[in-house]
Structure 1
């Protein structure tokens, strides 16, 4: 698979929390840290997501905000 997004973060699924329509997927990144994504139930089924599955968090954005305390 090739995608245009430069930010492709490998990791594995550590938690799947089902909602009525959307599902919250927690990914433990290979480089450390954790990322949470909210996707549809259909996407979870199409991707065959399960806890322990290796995935890529793909981030494509036209804007990234930076904040400080």
Structure 2
């Protein structure tokens, strides 16, 4: 598969928490944890399971910063 996004991070699925319609999938990416919000249907279609390798594909138009 080819993809136009340039921010593709390989990780391992740590946790999958399904809600009513949306799932939160936690990935370990090089020691940093990321959480993706995807539909329950996407989790099922991708066959995601804890321990599996997966890619976080980040495509954002804005990056926000904050300070204390």
* TM-score, scaled to structure 1: 0.90
SS at match of 1:64: coil
Q: Which runs of 5+ in 2 are unaligned?
A: none
Aligned length: 68
Query: 2:48 aligns to what?
Result: 49
* TM-score, scaled to structure 2: 0.92
Q: Which runs of 5+ in 1 are unaligned?
A: none
Take 2:31 and 2:9, find their aligned partners in 1: how far apart are those partners? 10
Query: 1:13 aligns to what?
Result: 13
Q: What is the RMSD of the two structures over their aligned residues, measured on CA atoms?
A: 0.9
| Pairwise CA distance, 1:23 | 0.7
| Pairwise CA distance, 1:67 | 2.2
Query: 1:3 aligns to what?
Result: 3
